[in-house]
A and B are shown apart, each in its own frame.
Chain A
């Protein structure tokens, strides 16, 4: 039995960054890449299911769409114990939006026929919160978003989940399997990769798939297949806050003044 975990390599911005000359994205030189925080939790949840099952009964497959640099994030997943890693890329995929990425990942799911697909609720960079649900929609599978608790026995026909709602409330749901779930921060405690895991991961292969392997053609991916188009990216007018400058001592003194002022008003 397989569990496919969709993972993303996210980009954080340098302190001082610049928008690209065409105005459509940030200049690549200012981006620092890492594995998406939410995906750490989805991978961990798959690992927990694998470790609770008989040896070799559950295979965890980490899948990502992106260029060569993405191998680094997949390597992290292998180091944490994923059995296999698949990176899908083709130049035609450049400019894909979250929905298109979901369609590409669904192509992998069709081939691997897992019993469950996990994705993070959202990515920390673009926060579309759409990829996991786009996989489900492309496959027409049952789906649930923002899952904070999962009770699932490998191979079972249904799973019990708790969706995390607003304001500290949860909703229990029963869902038919196979299903696509997007998992929320805090569902577990993600492990750190062990030194041994890191060493083993270095020796494991990362499978590289392209368009042809998925039964998709170039018109179904990339910017033309996207459901939205970026017109412009800009740095918002910031700093409505009145900045408290000076030495640490001066900054702290001003903060104490603000606290005293508040207490005076409240008294």
Chain B
């Protein structure tokens, strides 16, 4: 019998949806009927949060009580490490999220477990657990395994597995870890101000610029083009970081998911996983990029290999 341990993610009293994707990933790792999927939830309110975790495919929910309501990396690390020792899973699945980046490595390093991050595919090959992740800015796929390690800790890319949809009533056990202590203390949450700008999550047509625009002086041409075609001008992270467009216009993991968007024209954006996290659901994505190997072309419906400045000029000329 194999055990697969999934760690739920929660924030401000809400279980984060990526947790449901991890359950599906865990299901895929089951090979025998008696394999078990354990779902741990860590924090002061673990027991009450467990009621949000009644998902099919989970055999047991472990409410791991700590003395911090919100995520704290050392408490998470110690709680998960203790669970690995007591429950001996062959795989531990965490979301590839900001919280996990803060402690997954420590669990693997201190326990000497196998380790891979940002995994988007899981399989067995002749009994060996094989994880697939991206390399060289997503231009290659890399298959890794974990020889000599009885347990592998893996962070799983968001959106790589379908979320589980069916509910059930798994067994609930409580694991009291309130004696654990940590050397950092979460204080408060801060929403990055929208600054009275439009809410890009509600707009349907977006033209988005990336580092391909090169200089701040070029932003204006693309603003004019966006106005001309009634699109909302948005951007990838480097543009917002440079202050060329407000942060409220950033699409992606740490920016916004453009939920209402139907047409997304990506100009000079490579398609990093963090950017795609904000727009890959859009039904019609058109990407313009000089690099035919840019990963944005893997999710775009239409691709144009061209210089965005030439396209911009030509569009303006034809629209005039």
- Interfacial residues, chain A to chain B (CB-CB below 8 A): 11-13, 15, 17, 19, 26, 97-99, 102-103, 121, 124-130, 133-134, 136-138, 142-146, 162-176, 179, 182, 184-186, 189, 227-236, 238-244, 248-249, 251-256, 258-259, 262-263, 265-266
Which residues of chain B in 179-223 are interfacial with respect to chain A, using CB atoms and an 8 Å cutoff? Answer: 183-192, 204-205
Contact A143 B102, beta carbon cutoff 8 Å:
yes
- Residue among A15, A145, A168, A248 facing the most chain B CB atoms (10 A cut-off): A168
Distance (Å) between the CB of A119 and the closest chain B CB? 11
Contact B146 A142, beta carbon cutoff 8 Å:
no
Contact A167 B188, beta carbon cutoff 8 Å:
no
How far, in whole Å, are A64 and B125 apart by their CA atoms in the complex?
A: 35
How far, in whole Å, are A239 and B242 apart by their CA atoms in the complex?
A: 31
Contact A176 B136, beta carbon cutoff 8 Å:
no
Chain B residues with CB under 8 A of A171: 70, 186-190
* Total B residues in contact with A, Cβ cutoff 8 Å: 96
Contact B106 A256, beta carbon cutoff 8 Å:
no
Chain A residues with CB under 8 A of B105: 98-99, 102, 130, 133-134, 137
Chain A residue with the shortest CB-CB distance to B277: A166
Chain A residues with CB under 8 A of B303: 239, 241-244
Contact B190 A172, beta carbon cutoff 8 Å:
yes
Chain A residue with the shortest CB-CB distance to B95: A166
Known contacts: A168-B191, A256-B315. The answer to whether A241 contacts B118 by CB under 8 A is no
- Interfacial residues, chain B to chain A (CB-CB below 8 A): 11, 70, 73-74, 96-99, 101-106, 108-110, 112-118, 130-131, 134-137, 139-147, 149, 152, 183-192, 204-205, 229-231, 237-238, 240-242, 247-248, 250, 253-257, 262-263, 265, 273, 284, 286-288, 291-293, 297-306, 310-311, 314-315, 318-319
Contact A164 B254, beta carbon cutoff 8 Å:
yes
Contact B263 A173, beta carbon cutoff 8 Å:
no
How far, in whole Å, are A233 and B142 apart by their CA atoms in the complex?
A: 5
How far, in whole Å, are A151 and B98 apart by their CA atoms in the complex?
A: 20
Distance (Å) between the CB of B312 and the closest chain A CB? 9
Contact A121 B305, beta carbon cutoff 8 Å:
no
Contact B115 A130, beta carbon cutoff 8 Å:
yes
Contact B103 A170, beta carbon cutoff 8 Å:
no
Known contacts: A127-B118, A127-B134. The answer to whether A186 contacts B318 by CB under 8 A is no
Q: Which of A133, A173, A254 contacts B185 (CB 8 A)?
A: A173
Distance (Å) between the CB of A264 and the closest chain B CB? 12
Contact B254 A228, beta carbon cutoff 8 Å:
no
Chain A residues with CB under 8 A of B131: 228
Chain A residue with the shortest CB-CB distance to B315: A252
Contact A244 B302, beta carbon cutoff 8 Å:
yes
How far, in whole Å, are A142 and B117 apart by their CA atoms in the complex?
A: 21
Distance (Å) between the CB of B318 and the closest chain A CB? 6
Chain B residues with CB under 8 A of A265: 262
In the complex, besides A233-B143, A258-B302, A262-B284, 6 extra interface pairs with C-beta distance below 8 angstroms are: A165-B99, A171-B188, A172-B187, A227-B113, A241-B301, A259-B231
The SS class assigned to the A binding surface is mixed
Contact A255 B311, beta carbon cutoff 8 Å:
yes
How far, in whole Å, are A88 and B315 apart by their CA atoms in the complex?
A: 52
Chain A residues with CB under 8 A of B191: 168-170
Chain B residues with CB under 8 A of A130: 104-105, 115, 117
Contact A251 B149, beta carbon cutoff 8 Å:
no
Contact B204 A266, beta carbon cutoff 8 Å:
yes
Chain B residues with CB under 8 A of A184: 254
Contact B190 A241, beta carbon cutoff 8 Å:
no
Contact A128 B117, beta carbon cutoff 8 Å:
yes
Chain B residues with CB under 8 A of A185: 237-238, 241
How far, in whole Å, are A41 and B184 apart by their CA atoms in the complex?
A: 23
Distance (Å) between the CB of B130 and the closest chain A CB? 7
Distance (Å) between the CB of A27 and the closest chain B CB? 12
Distance (Å) between the CB of A28 and the closest chain B CB? 12
17 inter-chain pairs at a CB distance below 8 angstroms, sorted by A residue, are A19-B140, A26-B140, A99-B109, A103-B109, A137-B109, A168-B192, A169-B190, A172-B186, A182-B101, A185-B237, A233-B140, A235-B140, A243-B303, A243-B304, A252-B314, A255-B315, A263-B230
Contact A144 B298, beta carbon cutoff 8 Å:
no
Contact A234 B141, beta carbon cutoff 8 Å:
yes
Contact B147 A229, beta carbon cutoff 8 Å:
yes
Contact B186 A129, beta carbon cutoff 8 Å:
no
Contact A26 B136, beta carbon cutoff 8 Å:
yes
Distance (Å) between the CB of A93 and the closest chain B CB? 17
Chain A residues with CB under 8 A of B247: 168
- Residue among B98, B229, B242, B292 facing the most chain A CB atoms (10 A cut-off): B98
Q: Which of B109, B145, B297 contacts A134 (CB 8 A)?
A: B109
Q: Which of A138, A142, A170 contacts B183 (CB 8 A)?
A: A142
Contact A251 B293, beta carbon cutoff 8 Å:
no
Chain A residues with CB under 8 A of B188: 171-172
How far, in whole Å, are A111 and B104 apart by their CA atoms in the complex?
A: 26
Contact B130 A11, beta carbon cutoff 8 Å:
no
User: What are the 8 closest A-B residue pairs judged by CB atoms, nearest first?
Assistant: A241-B303, A133-B105, A186-B241, A137-B109, A142-B183, A252-B314, A145-B102, A227-B115
Chain A residues with CB under 8 A of B263: 258-259, 262
Chain A residues with CB under 8 A of B240: 186
Contact B101 A133, beta carbon cutoff 8 Å:
yes
Contact A13 B137, beta carbon cutoff 8 Å:
yes
Chain A residues with CB under 8 A of B137: 12-13, 124-125, 127
